[in-house]
Structure formats: structure tokens, C-alpha cells
Amino acid sequence: MLRLHRLRHHAVGRHVLAPCSALTRNACAHGTFTARQLSTSSARLAQVKFAHWIDKETGKLDTAKLETKWKTRWAEAKPPVRKPLTAAEIDRLFYVLVMFPYPSGVLHMGHVRVYTISDVLTRFHRMRGKHVVSPMGWDAFGLPAENAAIERSIAPAQWTQQNIATMKDQLSRILTDFDWDRELATCDPAYYKWTQHIFLQLFKNDMVYRKDAVVNWDPIDQTVLANEQVDKDGRSWRSGAVVEQRKLKQWFARITRYAQDLLDDLNALNWPDHVKSMQANWIGRSEGAEFEFALDPPIPDAQSKAISVFTSRADTLFGVSYLAIAPDHWLVSADHLPAEHANHVLKRAQEMLSGSSGGGDRSQRTKDGVFTGLYVAHPLDSARRVPVYVADYVLSDYGTGAVMGVPAHDVRDHEFCQINSVPVHISVVEPETPEFAEESKSELPVFTGQGVLRQIPENGIYGGMRSADARTTIVAAAAAIGSGKSVVNYRLRDWLLSRQRFWGAP
């Protein structure tokens, strides 16, 4: 009787079978063979056992012939009849789920590597007496299949089914042990009717919604791209086209509703600390305040009389030199902008949205801006007017789509002011001690730390307060007159779902 050990032969996608006889193993266990005898005995036994598998012309083992025998033997073996499991058997269930491949053509060595790992797990746990479920499926919808079908002038469904057949045959030839009676394809109506059912339940429970949103648009592939699919030069990672910013109606999932739950439950995960830290930063909880800067003068028929701004540094409120709004903010409209500024502002805003003013993630840009001609009144000092700029780094779908610029206490705001010639840089917070002042020195005249509000006219009655106390007192004062309130904000945004073209789930 032979004990067969399977190794992957990466060059040809075959199994190499290494023999080790039961006689040899027993002799070794009882110490009746020396190492040299064991080696000689194994070689002789291998010669006898595999003599008829040796190619007479080359003198080498005919692995293809040997493999065909065992593939046929395994194919003829009837799988066990599936029946309801007993309570004891349920305790021995083990689920092996590997990522479903895209049926894009043929398997490559990356597939062989991944499915070898899952195959080893499946066989290992089955040999240990567990009831293993190891399904296989095909992530069959998507843009690559559609583009490939267009190039070949065939229907995406036909192209996809051909690829599934080819790749399934390849998986069979490398003897992966999947539950093929559990096979599925995401393009099969029997499968995606359930994704539609789930979507309808989400819709009925207000978990998904549709709204206009600025998206990354690939003009060649005619589809929406995630930020990760746009390179640092503002080009599509797939087509190479310059990505455009377009406002389109899109579906979103309300994942922000669960931001705090997601953050809290990180503590229950047995993950490395650095991974949990990355997740926490991605969710991005930020405690702060939202202030209302009233338009001055008011704009007739505007959807709001003020611009709402979130900040985590209410103690710097009296150092604001400008407000920055997103290029697609509702105020960036010919109906709201002063006539002498409208054409120039609209042109520049469109350049920012189209990506011609820089590449990659817009939130990482720092210096591109244009004055709108609009002003707002300070929330706690209505006599003080603050200019409003359109800035490339402000995103309409994060927070309120507007931020306050405090150049004396924020490096990005300072750079923006330098480039766009924004006047008035008031330093309103200073280090609490001379030692801290020395530690916090930088090349720029910017102090970003916590400290004490300077006793200057701009700070009024709040001068001399520590930053933490000033934040609480300033927000309370704004809340008392209806121009501010405490809020919690998250970097996490609702999940945009609409990224398919024709060959996607209906």
C-alpha cells in the first residue's frame, strides 16, 4: 500500500507523487533499518512499484500517465450522500471559503497558489474527521468581462460562461477538492435574485438612498472609479484616461449610521493593534463644533442664510481669516455668486472638479483656490466679515462641505493664504509655557498645539483661557444665540454603490 504525498508542480500545473511504503515506515519505526538501508530499500521498492510507470525511452517517471490513473480513480469514486447531520456532527463542521475568481480568461500562478492553500486546509480538516464545506463560485459581473466581450464582438454572458468552463477545467486538472455541487456564479439569476432581495430590504429600511454626487469618471471606460483607482497624476489605473469629476445620481449605503458601533467593536476584535489603529483612523471620529457663518449680505432665495462649518478647534474661532467651500458647494452657482466674479469662479471650480488642477485624491490637495466675492459674518462677532473662497481640498460629501481657514494655527491654511494672497493672519492661541513654546517652534509662523488664548482684543472675554476651557465656553456662547453647537463628526462616508455598466447586477 502506498502513501501518496502531493506536491504542486508549478511549471506544468501537475501533481508529483512521492511514494513511501508502509513496510518501509514500519521498519523505520522499529529501528530495523539503518539510514543507508532505509534509503536503499526505498529506492528498490520505488523501482518495483513504479516499474511500469517508467518511460522506457527516457528512463524517467511518466508523471502524466500516473496522474491520469489517480485522476480517473478519484473521479470514479462516488461522493458521500449528503444527509442531515447529527448534533455531534454539527460540532465538527468546518467552512473553507476562498475568494471567488473573476472568470477573465484562464488561471494564472496566483490562482494556483491561492487555491492550493485552500485545498490543503480542506483536505487537512477532512482527514481530521471534520465535515468540511468548501464551495466554489465565480465573481462573474464586472467591467473587465464587458470590455473583453466588446473587443471580441460577443455578449458578455457568452464570454463569461466560456471562461468559467475553461477555468473550471483547469481547477479540475490540478485536482482541487471543491464542493462542485455547491458551485455558483454571480451572473446567474438564481444567485443575483437574492442580492436584489437584500437590496430591496435595505431600501425599505432606509439603509440605501440615491443622491447626486461628484464622482471620478473614466471617459474611455465610461464608468465611475473609486479614489484608489485614480493614480497620482489623475489618470485611470485601467484605461490611462485623465479622470473627470462629474456630478451623477448614485446609490449609497448608510454606513455612517454605524460609525460609532464600528469604532466601539474594534475592541472586541483579535487583530494586531496597528491594524485596529488604521481602522480607527479610517472611521475618523472627531469631536468638535459646528458654527453658522451668516451670509453678509444675505442672498435672496438661497437655500440657506448661512454656511455651516465643522471644526475640532473651536478655541481658534477668533483666528479665522477665510472660509473655504467645496467646488461643488451649493453657493458655487451663477444664481448666488456676484456677477463680477461668477464666470471666473465657475470656470476655476470646474477645473478643480475635472482634475485639471492636480491628480489623485482631491482631499490631499492644499493650495488651489479662488475668491468668490462672497462674505460671511463671524458667529460671535457679527461686525467682522470673513471672505469666502472655493478650495480644491474641500469635499462636499465630508462634513458640511465647508471649513474655516485659520492660517496662524494650521499649516495647510497658512500655505493656502500664502498662495492665494488671503489677508489677515491673527494668532489667537499661544503656548502655555516658554518651554512648550521652544519645543513647538517651526519654520512657519504657525502654532498648531493646545495652549492659552492670547489676551488680545480679537479674543475678547476668552483671552487667558486654556484651549480646552475656551472650546467649551465658546461653543456654549454660540449655542445660546443659535450660531453654533457641539457635534461629533466622522471621516467615514456613506458607501457609493453605483460602479457597474451593462454587465452588472440589475
Cα 139 from Cα 92, distance rounded (Å)? 29
**What pLDDT was estimated at residue 443?**
56
Query: Which of the four pLDDT bands, split at 50, 70 and 90, describes residue 452?
Result: very high
Question: pTM of the entire structure?
Answer: 0.69
- Find where cell 440589475 sits: 506
Cell numbers for 234: 489623475
Identify the pLDDT of residue 441. Answer: 56
Q: Are 171 and 217 in contact (CB under 8 A)?
A: no
Q: Let me know the angle formed at the C-alpha of 246 by 240 and 247, rounded to the nearest 5 degrees.
A: 155
pLDDT given for residue 440 in this prediction? 52
**Higher-confidence residue: 74 or 471?**
471
More confident call, 287 vs 28 = 287
Angle between helices 156-173 and 143-152 (to 10 degrees): 110
Dihedrals phi, psi of 466, to nearest 5 degrees: -70, 155
Tell me: pLDDT of 410 over 80: yes
φ and ψ at residue 349, rounded to 5 degrees: -65, -40
- Banded pLDDT at 357 (limits 50, 70, 90): very low
Kindly tell me if the per-residue pLDDT of 137 is higher than 70.
yes
Query: In Å, how far from its chain's centre is CA 172?
Result: 33
For residues 355 and 245, is the Cβ–Cβ distance under 8 A? yes
Cell of 505: 447586477
What average pLDDT does the chain have? 84
Question: Exposed e or buried b for every residue in 6-38, given b needs 16+ CB within 10 A?
Answer: bebeeeeebbebeeebeebeeebeeeebeeeee
Neighbours of 322 (CB within 10 A): 25
Tens-place pLDDT, residues 368-384: 899 999 999 999 999 99
How far is 460 from 473, CA to CA, in rounded Å?
12
Question: Hey, is 214 helix, strand or coil?
Answer: strand
pLDDT, position 55: 82
| Distance of alpha carbon 377 from alpha carbon 396, whole angstroms | 21
Share of the chain above pLDDT 70, in %: 84
Query: How confident is the model at residue 49, as a pLDDT?
Result: 65
pLDDT above 90 covers a percentage of the chain that reads: 55
Please say whether the beta carbons of 431 and 440 come within 8 A: yes
pLDDT score recorded for residue 98: 94
Q: What are phi and psi of 41, to 5 degrees?
A: -60, -45
Which range of 86-90, 219-223, 310-314, 421-425 scores highest in mean pLDDT? It is 310-314
pLDDT at 47: 59
* Per-residue confidence (pLDDT) for residue 43, from 0 to 100: 57
User: Rounded distance, CA 45 to CA 154, Å?
Assistant: 56
Give the Cα separation of 504 and 506 in Å (integer).
6
Alpha-helical runs (H) found in 130-249 = 143-152, 156-173, 189-204
Whether residue 358 contacts residue 234, with contact meaning beta carbons closer than 8 Å, is answered with: yes
Does pLDDT of 444 surpass 70?
no
Distance CA 163, CA 157 (A): 10
As to burial, measured by CB atoms within 10 angstroms (0-12 exposed, 13-18 middle, 19+ buried), residue 380 is: middle
* pLDDT band per the 50, 70, 90 thresholds, residue 343: very high
Residue 252's pLDDT is 93
Per-residue confidence band for 438, with pLDDT thresholds at 50, 70 and 90: low
Q: Which pLDDT score is estimated for 301?
A: 83
Burial of 345 (0-12, 13-18, 19+ CB in 10 A): buried
Given this model, what pLDDT does residue 502 score? 82
CA dist list (Å): 326 to 331, 339, 389, 424, 477: 9, 20, 9, 22, 28
Kindly tell me if the per-residue pLDDT of 5 is higher than 60. no
How far apart are alpha carbons 292 and 423 in whole angstroms?
22
- Counting beta carbons within 10 angstroms of the beta carbon of residue 225, is it exposed (0 to 12), middle (13 to 18) or buried (19 or more)? buried
Q: How far apart are CA 80 and CA 57, in angstroms?
A: 42
pLDDT for the residue numbered 67: 83
CA–CA dist 187, 294 (Å, integer): 52
Q: Is the pLDDT of residue 8 over 80?
A: no
Res. 435 pLDDT band, cuts 50 70 90: low
Residue 30 has pLDDT above 50, yes or no: no
Q: Quick: pLDDT tens for 53-104.
A: 888 888 888 888 888 888 888 778 766 666 777 887 788 899 999 999 999 8
pLDDT by residue (tens digit) across 184-239? Answer: 999 999 999 999 999 999 999 999 999 888 888 889 888 888 888 888 888 988 88
pLDDT of residue 77: 74
Q: What is the spatial distance between Cα 123 and Cα 148, in angstroms, rounded to a whole number?
A: 36
Over 50: is that where the pLDDT of 50 sits? yes
